[in-house]
Amino acid sequence: MFLQSKLPNVGTTIFTEMSVLAQQYNAINLGQGFPDFGMNPQLTSLVTKAMEQGNNQYVHMNGLPALRERIAEKVKKLYNNEVSANDEITVTPGGTYAIYTAFTSILNKGDEVIIFEPAYDSYIPNIEINGAIAVPVALQYPDYSINWELVKQKISSKTKAIIINSPHNPTGALLNEADMQQLSALTEGSGIFIISDEVYEHLVFDDKKHISVLQFPELYKRSFVCFSFGKTYHCTGWKMGYCIAAPGLMQEFRKVHQFNCFTCNSPLQFALAAFLEQEKEYLALGKFIGNKRDYFLEAMNATPFKPLPSYGSYFQLYSYDGISDEKEKDFATRLIKEYGVATIPVSAFYQSKQENKVLRFCFAKKETTLAEAAKRLVHVQ
């Protein structure tokens, strides 16, 4: 049987590739972004309770109403935006699905989407499977900030959307208010949509603050804003998230959603609705993850790796300039095989596979894991 691939240039995601190698060589996995510590047992008990109480059938396709209400309250409190639980919020099986669905709702063949590289690796396939074209703009190394002049140059009559991501995966960079104003000025009245990947909204440290598209009414009108419960509550395997968009946009989003996943896991939604009432659970997260980042930085001081700035997410980039001249993927593979530590080569997040001698380390791990990984890297050469 001959199958004409819709994604001829796509292989296996770098996360799976590196995780499989890590397992094979029994390496410490600081590659794929997931915590190795337990989630809050209160939340797992709430799931058990929901199941035992018989909440095991489909809930509304847009998400359990109580959960959407709690999300709306949280958005009002944090971002001062009164979104409608009925018309503007849809619960999704994860943030990646929300992003894919947003792209699928708006893209037609030949449309262009501006992406910032390094870019999370699902964006380009999401764009291409819809017959659209990804137009990359490189973030400026080493602080990975946006050069808005370059963005302006890449906007054409075919530009349908711009995808932004803050806190940024893989770099940990944050967008600031000036960035949002630039984005607003560039897109106002243009018909260009924004997809805003904000899955790490609470994972911000060093006294910085997450800036959401939801805080800018002009921008929000043309945005799909995507979030993840997995990242907030340390349960990435739950694959639960949500998308927020203005009613007209959300209506189209739901057309795609209803014939794809239709509705998400019910007991998890009951549990999340109850747990979201405790705002301290998500408000304390920045400090918690910031402490882990500090611990990791300290431990890595004994190694020859050089840290790059990171202000949010699960990730810390390190340069290996001066240690090796190998390409990032080759070096990352050797680190797994010879030193027993898995990372992600940042070149995997560039269409052009740009090489800066930089690797991504996930520090959302127990201190013992971080200490052991750093110890293994002390004599890297």
Contact positions vs ligand GLN (CB under 6 A): 13, 15, 32-33, 169
CB of 315 to ligand GLN, least distance (A): 7
Per-position DSSP letters for 291-348, written without gaps between them: HHHHHHHHHHTTSS-EEPP--BSSEEEEE-TTT--S-HHHHHHHIIIII-EE-EEGGG
CB of 345 to ligand GLN, least distance (A): 12
Q: Which is nearer to ligand GLN, 105 or 169 (CB)?
A: 169
85-96 residues labelled b (16+ CB within 10 A) or e (exposed):
bebbbbbbbbbb
Q: Which is nearer to ligand GLN, 81 or 228 (CB)?
A: 228
H or E segment to which residue 2 belongs: none
What sign results for the dihedral spanned by CA atoms 216, 217, 219, 223? positive
CB of 189 to ligand GLN, least distance (A): 34
Q: Which is nearer to ligand GLN, 13 or 351 (CB)?
A: 13
- Encoding tokens for residue 39? 């989630």
Q: Which is nearer to ligand GLN, 37 or 108 (CB)?
A: 37
Whole-number Å distance between alpha carbons of 176 and 199: 16
CB of 356 to ligand GLN, least distance (A): 18
Closest-CA residue to 198 (of 239, 235, 155, 241) = 241
Q: Which is nearer to ligand GLN, 13 or 55 (CB)?
A: 13
CB of 92 to ligand GLN, least distance (A): 15
Closest-CA residue to 304 (of 200, 235, 376) = 376
Asked whether the beta carbons of 224 and 245 are under 8 A apart, the reply is: yes
CB of 314 to ligand GLN, least distance (A): 7
Per-position DSSP letters for 81-130, written without gaps between them: ----TTTSEEEESSHHHHHHHHHHHH--TT-EEEEEES--TTHHHHHHTT
CB of 169 to ligand GLN, least distance (A): 5
Q: Which is nearer to ligand GLN, 96 or 130 (CB)?
A: 96
> What DSSP state is assigned to residue 374?
H
* Position with the least CB separation from ligand GLN: 33
Q: Which is nearer to ligand GLN, 123 or 216 (CB)?
A: 123
